[in-house]
Amino acid sequence: MFARSIVIVLALLSSAAAFLPAQKITRAPVRLAAESSRRGFLAESVAVAGVALAAPAFADDAAPAAPPKPEKVNYGDFPVPSEWGISGKDYYADATRVVKHMEYATQQDKGAANMDEINKNMKKEMVDFVSFYRRFNNVAGKQSFSTLYTAINVLAGHYTSYGTKFPVPEKRRKRLYQEYAEIEKNIKKGR
């Protein structure tokens, strides 16, 4: 309310000033100051040079330290997968194998040996697992399968978007390891 009143008063004053007679503007004499502009330029140049030379004297001797790099979280050491593929006979054995292989593929850093080959095999194994087991209603309804299906979609989506030569980012890696833990817990309980 108060602000509205102030705005109205200012608007009235400015509109009233529009009807006042024009004031005569007097100009200061113009100096042809070629010499004074050179003097001004030289004075400014000397001042800038003085500041530039004096600034290091007042600076700290040590350069500011870079902020420490956050340490990479270690989610565990996983064995290098040697056998790829699923048996198609035992869901729990195949799910455990796929999860172990996914854990290894997820923990790889940039420049890891055989990353491209391992990730391509991983993608094929994930596709085979999902395409085989989602046909069975008794398996497709299990908690372990639905969580594993979600994790497979995340990792397969990463491979589709970034390729098999790029490591999984830390934020996505953290989420995947949470899902892997939940899957393993459900497999142990037979869910």
What is the predicted pLDDT for the residue at 26?
62
Calpha distance 85→93 (Å, rounded): 12
Query: What pLDDT score does 110 carry?
Result: 85
pLDDT at 180: 93
Global pTM exceeds 0.75: no
Among 58, 102, 98, residue whose Cα is nearest residue 76:
102
Q: How many CB atoms lie within 10 A of CB 94?
A: 20
Q: What is the pLDDT of residue 46?
A: 59
pLDDT reported for residue 123? 93
Q: Are 92 and 190 in contact (CB under 8 A)?
A: yes
Report DSSP state, residue 85: S
Q: What does pLDDT average to in each consecutive run of 10 residues of the chain (191 residues)?
A: 65 57 62 59 63 56 59 61 85 93 90 87 93 90 92 93 90 93 92 87
pLDDT at 70: 54
pLDDT for the residue numbered 85: 85
What DSSP designation does 168 have? P
